[in-house]
């Protein structure tokens, strides 16, 4: 991603929140399968664990709590 360092974390956080929301609720983007949303969210979590921790998310947060 070619963006200034001060905006990089913000854009990554927006992507992470978007895929997290789609994985949790299919109504946000009905044409995107939940499995693809989970895969994209997990890829971002693996690449940017510091952003995930800053947002208070975990890798398991895409599933509904028991």
Q: What is the mean pLDDT of each run of 10 residues along the chain (66 residues)?
A: 88 96 92 94 96 93 80
Triad 2, 29, 50: Cα angle to 5°: 40
28 close to 22: Cβ distance less than 8 angstroms: yes
User: Which pLDDT belongs to residue 56?
Assistant: 94
Rounded to two decimals, what is the model's pTM? 0.88
* Chain centre to alpha carbon of residue 10: 12
What are phi and psi for residue 7, nearest 5 degrees?
-100, -15
User: Which pLDDT belongs to residue 66?
Assistant: 63
Q: Torsion angle of alpha carbons 12, 65, 23, 57, nearest 10°?
A: 0
Q: Torsion angle of alpha carbons 49, 62, 21, 19, nearest 10°?
A: 50
């Amino acid at each position: 991603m070619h963006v200034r360092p001060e905006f990089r974390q913000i854009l990554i956080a927006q992507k992470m929140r978007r895929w997290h929301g789609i994985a949790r609720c299919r109504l946000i983007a009905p044409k995107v399968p939940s499995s693809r949303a989970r895969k994209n969210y997990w890829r971002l979590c693996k690449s940017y664990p510091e952003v995930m921790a800053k947002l208070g998310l975990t890798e398991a947060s895409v599933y509904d709590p028991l």
